[in-house]
Structure formats: C-alpha cells, structure tokens
Chains A and B, each alone.
Chain A
Amino acid sequence: MKYVDEFRDRNLAGKLAGAIAAEADPARHYYLMEFCGGHTHAIFRYGVQDLMPDNVTFVHGPGCPVCVLPVRRLDDAVELAEHHGVILCTYGDMMRLPGTRQRSLIRAKADGADIRMVYSTADALKIARDNPDREVVFFAIGFETTTPPTAVAILQAEAEGLSNFSVFCNHVLTPAAIGHVLGSPDPRDPEKVRIDGFLGPSHVSAVIGSRPYEAGADLYRKPVVIAGFEPLDVMQSVLMLIRQINEGRYEVENQYTRVVTREGNQKAQALVDKVMERRDAFEWRGLGMVPDSALKIRECYAAFDAEQRFEISKKTSREVKSCECPAILRGAKKPTDCKLFGTVCTPDSPMGSCMVSSEGACAAYWSYGRFREPARKKEAVA
C-alpha cells in the first residue's frame, strides 16, 4: 500500500531508534503525550515503545471521541432508539460502549431497538431515503476529522428535502481539549500530569491545519509536533520533540507534511461552519465541563437536529464508581492503576469507555501490553 508501507519500514525504524537514542539526554526524562487515540493504538500495535530509550515515556491522552463521550449522551442515544422508535445509525465504535447500568447500543439492539451500524453518513442518508415513513437519527461523534462528513450529510439532506433525517450531534474540538489537559489541573494536585511535549493528531490537523495549536504551545510553553499516523511518523515526531525540548523551544512543528498544511482544509472548515456552531461548554467524560469544546447544529438547520426534533428526557446518568477513566483520560493514571482493570473490567465486560474503544488506553493496554508492566524499564524522575 503506497504511502502506508514505506512508513512502516523496519529498517528506517531501526535508524530512527538510533537517532532518538543518540539525541535523548540521559540526564532527562521525556514525557510525551500522544493526544490522539489512534496514535495510542498505533504505538501499541507496532510496539513502538520497545524502540524507545528508557527515558522516553508516552502519556496517553484523551483524544478518543468514544472515550470522552459523557454517559448521559450515550443514554440519550439509547433512549432515542428505544423510546422514540427511530432507526438509530451509528459508527461501529459506539456499539459496545456501556451507558448507565451497563446499557449499551448492542444490548438495546438485542432487545429489539432498531440500531444499525454504518460506515459512513452516506449510508445513514440512504437508510432515510429507503424508509420514508420512519425517523432516522445519525449518532454523530468524533473530533474535527469526522465532523465535516456530518455537515455534508445535513446539507445533502436539506438539498434532497429529506424530512425524516436528523443528527444527534456530539462532535468535539481538539485544541480546547489539549488546553484543558495542560492548563486546568492545580499545580499542587498529586494527579497533575507531567507533560513535556505533545504529539498532535494527524487527521484532525489535516482538516484544521497546524495553526490552531500555536496559541496553546505559546501559552503553556510546550512543543507540539503534528505527527503522521504510521509508526515511523510517530518516531520521527518523537525525535523532533526531543530536539525542541533539548533546545528549550516550544513551537508547533509539522511532521505530517504530506497531508497537513498550516491552514488545513478550508473547504471542509467552511462547510462545518455553515451548519454548526460552538456550544458554550460540553461535558467530557474525565475532564468535566470544558468551555468552547464542542459543536451543536445551528438554529437554521434545527429540522436536522435530533435534540430539537425529539423530546429527550432529563435523566440521572451514572458511571461506575471505581472506574478510573477520568484520570486515565487525562494521563494522570495508567490503566494498571485502576482497581477494576483486568478484574471486573475487561473487554468482555467493560466498565468504562477506555476499555471499550479500540483506542482507549485500557483497551490498548489489555490487547497489546498488559503483561509488559513487570518488565517495564524504570522511570527516572528528571
């Protein structure tokens, strides 16, 4: 596969590993947060951490839209399917996510709710066309990568005069989340996360460009390297971060130049802006209320907004008590720090979102690395 295989080449991996080992200062420890869950997945899938020197540690960030979806929003989606008789269309990632009392979409489907897995919003539109006397709701989640397709779907529905299609919008914004992770915790807080630099998301940045990170890098004085999706990209980005940290720089650099530009995809940005606007605040699992961090559908497109179309009940939503997803999402704790990990909470019976999502830290740890801990290199405090 072109533009994929070359960036997974083992020989280049060895070379970059050598370069990283040569430039990492043995007197320092580098804590690098990979914001994006896809990067977490890639790191574990390819075993990238095995190629890092002992003094480089990846801190897993909250960039997993499935993981950060608040329980209440999932409960709302289940309600739409169960009590409003809609056909609920969802990406595969959401199917096993446990809501309150472990009620997930896959359970609701087993009990008779009409829930259909789709690969694309185009599929949801087709379902709406094919079922003119049923209400079809698309359960929209994702960061800025996944948002433009939702916007296009709404515009398409409008153009076709589809009157039975709406979107339950849970799109969230990356720069706000990064800022929150860096900025909010109390410096005296024992759970404050030590982060020396960021690996920025690949595909979010393809859409929004590298510019939106510049304010944060400046404000918090942390370097950001927009990293490509393949393991060699991750390694080269680590090298670039180490250089910045060694040199005391805190710039936004772009490693993923084959897809990311400073301005991003302006056509996509404009389409999103046409259909959606910022919410004042949105609750994130693990991070609490984050201002300016999510999108809702504009009033002029209210006909396509499931929250306007349907009376969704106010309900008490509950997360499992000892679930450490909140701390894990912020990078403050590791999955193995959670009492439930591997005992009560496993991929078979997930208690929280980090175990369900294929790129949640807990799922990644379980699938790829759970017995690694005893063999783990000691972490120096530099």
Chain B
Amino acid sequence: MCLAIPARVVELQAGDSAVVALEGVKKRISLALVEDVAIGDYVLIHVGYALHKVSPEEAARTLELMAEAGVLAEELAEIGESAA
C-alpha cells in the first residue's frame, strides 16, 4: 500500500510547503511531517506530504550490496561449474 515516490525539492515556500520535481513534473507538497529539508534534498512523497528524506549514501550502499550479491552468486556458480 502507500504509493510513495522520491522527488527532489526545488523550492521552499511559506507555511511548511515546498515544490518538488520529478522529471520536470512539479507538485506543491507539505513539509509538515519532516524537518531540516533543503533545496536539492530528495523526499518521499505520499498523498501530497513529504514523509521522510531519502538518504543518498544509503541508496548508493544498497545498490552496491545488490551488485555484490550478484557477483558472489556468479562466483559460486563458476566454482560449481569448474568443480563439476
């Protein structure tokens, strides 16, 4: 459930509002649920509200882990093949 999408903050506005952009599509959303948001940050948007900031470091790390898992699997497969 809970369709939420990461989008980049491009403008901060009064009253806890901000404008986010996703590939050139801009939408005004509320920052009432988050803190310390700066222009350039990515936030997770759900029903017109930012729910959480997206961590670029963690995102990169997750992708690395995925790639590593793949490499490990390939290595295991190779080992399996050469042993056969």
Q: Do chains A and B touch in the complex (CB under 8 A)?
A: yes
Give 16 CB contacts A-B under 8 Å. A1-B22, A2-B42, A3-B42, A4-B5, A6-B63, A15-B73, A91-B47, A119-B48, A145-B4, A148-B33, A148-B51, A202-B2, A236-B66, A257-B58, A268-B33, A359-B1
Is residue A259 contacting chain B, with contact meaning CB distance below 8 A? yes
CA distance A120 to B45 in the complex (A): 11
8 A Cβ contacts from A320-366 to B: 359
Give which listed residue, A16, A18, A149, A233, contacts B33 with CB less than 8 A: A149
List residues of chain A with CB within 8 A of the CB of B67.
Answer: 12, 15
List residues of chain B with CB within 8 A of the CB of A232.
Answer: 66
Known contacts A143-B1, A267-B34; is-contact A203 B51 (Cβ 8 Å): yes
Is residue A258 contacting chain B, with contact meaning CB distance below 8 A? yes
Is A38 in contact with B62, judged by CB distance below 8 angstroms?
no
Mask for A242-282, Cβ within 8 A of B = 1, else 0? Answer: 00000000000001011110000101100100000000000
List residues of chain A with CB within 8 A of the CB of B58.
Answer: 257-259
Is A203 in contact with B4, judged by CB distance below 8 angstroms?
yes
The 10 lowest CB-CB distance pairs between A and B, nearest first, are A15-B70, A120-B48, A19-B73, A145-B2, A203-B2, A258-B58, A18-B73, A3-B6, A258-B59, A257-B58
Known contacts A203-B51, A267-B34; is-contact A239 B1 (Cβ 8 Å): no
Size of interface on A: residues with Cβ below 8 Å to B: 56
Q: Is the interface of B mostly helix, strand, loop or mixed?
A: mixed
Q: By CB atoms of chain A within 10 A, which of B6, B61, B65, B67 has the most?
A: B6
Known contacts A2-B42, A4-B5, A145-B46; is-contact A206 B69 (Cβ 8 Å): no
8 A Cβ contacts from B2-26 to A: 2-6, 8, 22-23
List residues of chain B with CB within 8 A of the CB of A148.
Answer: 33, 49, 51
Return the chain A residue nearest B51 by Cβ: A206
Is residue A14 contacting chain B, with contact meaning CB distance below 8 A? yes
Is residue A65 contacting chain B, with contact meaning CB distance below 8 A? yes
List residues of chain A with CB within 8 A of the CB of B39.
Answer: none
CB distance from B37 to the nearest CB of A (A): 12
List residues of chain A with CB within 8 A of the CB of B74.
Answer: 15, 18
Is residue B84 contacting chain A, with contact meaning CB distance below 8 A? no
Is residue B77 contacting chain A, with contact meaning CB distance below 8 A? yes
Give which listed residue, B44, B47, B56, B73, contacts A206 with CB less than 8 A: B44
Is residue B38 contacting chain A, with contact meaning CB distance below 8 A? no
Is A64 in contact with B1, judged by CB distance below 8 angstroms?
yes
Is residue A36 contacting chain B, with contact meaning CB distance below 8 A? yes
Is residue A223 contacting chain B, with contact meaning CB distance below 8 A? no
Is A204 in contact with B6, judged by CB distance below 8 angstroms?
no
Is A257 in contact with B61, judged by CB distance below 8 angstroms?
yes
CA distance A1 to B22 in the complex (A): 7
Is A142 in contact with B73, judged by CB distance below 8 angstroms?
no
Give which listed residue, A1, A119, A142, contacts B2 with CB less than 8 A: A142
CB distance from A335 to the nearest CB of B (A): 18
Mask for A136-157, Cβ within 8 A of B = 1, else 0? Answer: 0000001101101100100000
Other contacts beyond A152-B32, A201-B1: 20, CB < 8 A: A1-B22, A3-B54, A4-B6, A22-B73, A23-B73, A38-B2, A119-B47, A120-B47, A120-B48, A121-B47, A143-B2, A146-B47, A149-B30, A149-B47, A149-B49, A152-B33, A255-B62, A257-B58, A259-B52, A268-B34
8 A Cβ contacts from A162-190 to B: none
CA distance A22 to B77 in the complex (A): 8
Mask for B60-84, Cβ within 8 A of A = 1, else 0? Answer: 0111011101111110110000000
CA distance A119 to B3 in the complex (A): 12
Return the chain B residue nearest A120 by Cβ: B48
List residues of chain A with CB within 8 A of the CB of B48.
Answer: 119-123, 149
CA distance A296 to B46 in the complex (A): 21
Is A206 in contact with B52, judged by CB distance below 8 angstroms?
yes
List residues of chain A with CB within 8 A of the CB of B55.
Answer: 257-259
Is A258 in contact with B62, judged by CB distance below 8 angstroms?
yes
Is residue A81 contacting chain B, with contact meaning CB distance below 8 A? no
